[in-house]
Amino acid sequence: MNTFLKPNTDESVFGAVQLGYPVVESQRFADWRRFGADAIGLHVDQLTEDVLRFRIDDRECRFLIQRGPAEDLMAVGWQIADHETFDRIVKRVTERGVPIAESTPEEAALRGVERLWRFAGPKGIVREIFTTATTTAKPLHMLNSGFVTGGGGMGHIAITSRDPLGIHGYYSTVFDSRLSDYIDENISGLTLKIRFLRVNERHHSVAVANIRGLKIDPIRTRVQHVNIQASSLEDITDSYQRVREHGFSMARSIGQHTNDKELSYYCVTPSGFELEVGWNPIVLTPELEAARQVATHQGISIWGHKPVDPGIFDKLGQLRQGRAQRPPIRNCST
């Protein structure tokens, strides 16, 4: 990753990049269909026995589920505003010796995009860049009233890393990301420092939790969660109830974040990573962007976000506390 830490000498691409879609590999198609359509309230299209897509706006694809054994997020698609900026990013990647290749027309069609190129990234997540998303006039069949996308993209991804500075340098080099702020969080005795990176007006498109103090990454999946933004408060509360009614695990209850003020809850997808469904985060308008100063917030939530079904961080914290409270073994030999 150090090869990415060379300074950029060309024009910044900040503001010309947005999160387009995640690509997930799974065998649990029936569960994903129930989770996406019946619980979260997304539009579902089953293209083949091996390809499932979800829509949340007029784009053909916002989630791509492909059949495979990984049960994980495998790639993330980033939309680039124009061909000139696209070429600039390709040049940045190639100049740093990272293999990058154009995808096949079939791969682009599955994602509903044009001019698709792919290259490796941190955490084993393939980065896919594209210039144009295919839209459709077909009506959306969703339980939610809608989702917020637009110039800020579809939401954000959150990952854990023992090399947060390296991840930060990667996104700064490729997409000219900017640091929005930090959060210091204590989860069941585990101290995490989370940094939030933005590539456009959205408060953050990437969140990176520092787990340097742990010997192993406690998260099996490449991402800890993916975020989408609902259009209304009622969409949040109604989908929260549906997730519980359909028997899917709820990681954290509805709460409000300290930094971007987003109201949200976290549930567990059929592949094991979490989905955060949020509402009404702050948008960094040009005025707010010009006055932005990096701050550190204490705790991830103003209120709420209480554990519902214990996650891995909670279980690790409970284990650590149990060991600390265990009485010492005395030598009782006579």
- What distance in Å separates the CA atoms of residue 262 and residue 279, rounded to the nearest whole number? 6
- pTM metric for this prediction: 0.91
Closest CA to 218 of 184, 190, 250: 190
Question: Which CATH number describes the domain made up of 13-317?
Answer: 3.10.180.10
Cα 183 to Cα 123, 161, 179, 275: the distances in Å are 21, 15, 12, 20
Longest CA span, the chain: 84
Walk along the chain (334 residues) and give the pLDDT tens digit of each residue. Answer: 455 566 777 799 999 999 999 999 999 999 999 999 999 999 999 999 999 999 999 999 999 999 999 999 999 999 999 999 999 999 999 999 999 999 999 999 999 999 999 999 999 999 999 999 999 999 999 999 999 999 999 999 999 999 999 999 999 999 999 999 999 998 767 778 999 999 999 999 999 999 877 778 889 999 999 999 999 999 999 999 999 999 999 999 999 999 999 999 999 999 999 999 999 999 999 999 999 999 999 999 999 999 998 665 555 554 444 444 444 434 333 2
- What distance in Å separates the CA atoms of residue 86 and residue 115, rounded to the nearest whole number? 9
Contacts of 307 (CB under 8 A, 6+ apart): 251, 252, 314
Indicate the domain borders of the chain.
Answer: 13-317
